[in-house]
Each structure stands twice: as C-alpha cells, then as structure tokens.
Amino acid sequence: MKIIAGSSSPKLAENIALQLNAPLVDCDIDTFANGEKRIHISNTVKNQDVLIIQSFSKPVDDRIIETALIADALERLGAHEINLFIPWFGYSFQDKVFMPGEPLSAKVIAKIIESTCIKKVYLLDLHNISIPGFFSIPTYHITAMNEFITHIKEHFDLTKAMVISPDFGGLKRARLFANELHLELGGIEKRRDLITGQVTTTKLDGEVKGKNIFIFDDAILSGQTVVEVAKMLKEQGAKEIHFLATHGVFTGDALESLAKSMVDSVTVTNSIERTEQFKKITILDISKVLVENLQG
C-alpha cells in the first residue's frame, strides 16, 4: 500500500504512512491562473493499492474537487485499488432537508465521491451515523472515542467526576463515553435558533457540584455550545469542565470565545490540521485509529 496526502492533511498522512511502514506518494497540488486545480503525481503507483488522506475542511469545495482529481490521476497511472480516508466529512451537517428547496447535500457529496474510481471510504465520528448509507460503495464509520478515553484516564482525576451530554442528540454518544469511564451520566437541554444559530441552555439533569465534568461531542463549530454549557455548569457548582470533540472546526471567532470561556480545557483531534497553538486546546493524533481499522 502507498499513501497520498491531499492538501488538507499532510501531517496526518505522514503519521499514517509511518505506522503502516508505507511510502508516501509525491503529489503536486497547485492552482491554474483561472482558478482550476492542477494535480500531478510523479511516483509509480501501477498495480499498487493507494490510500488518499483528505479532510473536507475549509476551503471545502476545493478539497472535494481535489480529491476527485487525485483519484482520477491515480487510476490513469494504473493504481490497483484506490481508497479514501475522510477524517472530517464536510457537508455532514447538511444531512437532512429542513425546508423545501434545499438539497440533501451530504448525499450529493457522497455521490460525487463514488462517481470516481474510489473503491472504499473511511469516515470518522460522523454527526449522523446514517451518512454511510448515502454511499453505494463500501463505507466504514470509525470512532476516536478510545483515544479520548485513554487521554482522560492518563491526565485527569476521575474520583469525583461525571459525563454530561450537551444535548439530547448526543445522549447515546455520551452514554457510551460514560460507560467506558465508569462514570455517572447527566444531560443538558438546549435550544438552537435555526436562523441565528444562537444556543440557549434550558435545563440540567444531574448534580454537578464539586465535580470534574467531561463532555464528549462529535464536533466544535462556533463554540457557542461549549461556552454556554460551561457557564451553566460552573454556575451550578462544577469544579472543572473539560470538553472533548473529535473535530475542531472552529468557525468565526470560536477560538477566541473558548479562550475567554469558563471551560477549563478543550481536546480535539487532528482530523482538521492546524499549525497554530491555542490556549486551553490539546490535539490528539488519530492516525492510530485508522491504522487499527485498516489492519483489523
């Protein structure tokens, strides 16, 4: 097997290649003066299995087109089988049609990917676990939960702690997380304005006073949920609040808001790569998660 990195995930691809003891394919990714993507692969891949690593992160549409072009170039070079790992599946929050006239965007992106020569797709901690059903090629949904469990056990005091679900939709995920840590589970009711995106917390289920609180979610976007939940829990007497999410999307001024918020720490993975260091934020490497699934 050989590994090829899209422009979104060079470091993650390197980590995966090292763990698999697989060579990295050189891929020149550029843009023509008219805005079109230019792809050139210089390595020999004939009769080789090749795994593309590419998050559909900002600029999302560019990443998707880039991935399709890389796959086509690999096929024309004679690659035996081409597979794709999408650590962050952009458009995954557009998994339903809320109003007449809207597209089912997540399904559209799935159809674009499967229209190429890609044979298998690996997805990580989706917002909606039904998304693999949008693909007609083999698609595997994997989770980074065990990486977070290990991180918590190694770095935090669990003697007086509990897990809180940030909303009703995340209750199943939170219950699995709490069971793995052998901790009590509580929950918060919240409302989000579909027009403005404003989050309002309305009710807390569970006694948090004097406890370390762990919240596990699939993604952080604007950070409003983290900010509002942390404020509510601290007002209810929580000792420390630690928010963990697989995908650190961090839209708008999310990073600044988190730095000023009452949350004590934020842990995300490198599903979306960042080179900067940010206050309160720890980044876990998820290369091991994919490698285990490829070898298992």
pLDDT tens-digit map of 69-115: 999 999 999 999 999 999 999 999 999 998 999 999 999 999 999 99
At residue 194, the pLDDT reads 53
3-state DSSP helix/strand/coil percent for the chain, to nearest 5? 30, 30, 40
Task: Give, in order, the Cα–Cα distances in Å from 129 to each of 13, 90, 173.
Answer: 24, 14, 11
Tell me the C-alpha distance between 147 and 33, whole Å: 42
Instruction: Answer yes or no: do 93 and 17 share one domain.
Output: yes
The reply to whether 127 and 155 lie within a common domain is no
The reply to whether 190 belongs to the active site is yes
Distance CA 271, CA 274 (A): 9
Residues 45 and 128 in one domain: yes
Query: Is the distance from CB of 214 to CB of 224 less than 8 angstroms?
Result: no
User: 168 and 110 in one domain?
Assistant: no
From the list 190, 203, 279, 288, the catalytic residue is 190
162 and 222, same domain (yes or no):
yes
Residues 153 and 128 in one domain: no
Domain assignment present for residue 295? The answer is: no
Backbone angles phi and psi of 145, in degrees to 5: -55, -40
- The pLDDT, as a whole number, for residue 190 is 65
Give the pLDDT band of residue 201 (cuts 50, 70, 90). Answer: low
Confidence (pLDDT) at 202: 60
Residues 212 and 253 in one domain: yes
Identify whether the C-beta of residue 138 lies closer than 8 Å to the C-beta of residue 166.
no
Domain span including residue 257: 145-285
Domain count, the chain: 2
What does DSSP say about strands 265-269 and 240-248: parallel, antiparallel, or unpaired? parallel
Mean pLDDT on 274-282: 86
- Whether 220 and 245 have beta carbons less than 8 Å apart is answered as yes
Residue with tokens 């557009």: 94
Please answer whether residues 63 and 56 qualify as being in contact, where contact means their C-beta atoms are separated by less than 8 angstroms. yes
What share of the chain in percent tops pLDDT 70? 95
- Strand 118-124, strand 2-5: pairing: unpaired
Percentage of the residues of the chain whose pLDDT score is greater than 90:
83
The pLDDT tens digits for 223-263 are: 988 899 999 999 999 999 999 999 999 999 999 999 999 99
Let me know whether 170 and 254 are in one domain.
Answer: yes
Residue 277 has pLDDT above 90, yes or no: no
Domain stop point among 84, 112, 142: 142
Specify the higher pLDDT residue, 202 or 219. 219
* Residues 72 and 180 both lie in one domain: no
pLDDT at position 103 is 97
User: Distances in Å between the alpha carbon of 58 and those of 88, 111, 228?
Assistant: 10, 20, 25
Q: What is the CATH number of the domain that holds 72?
A: 3.40.50.2020
CA angle 184, 247, 59 (to 5 degrees): 160
Sign of the CA dihedral running 130, 135, 139, 143 = negative
Among 98, 126, 142, the domain boundary falls at 142
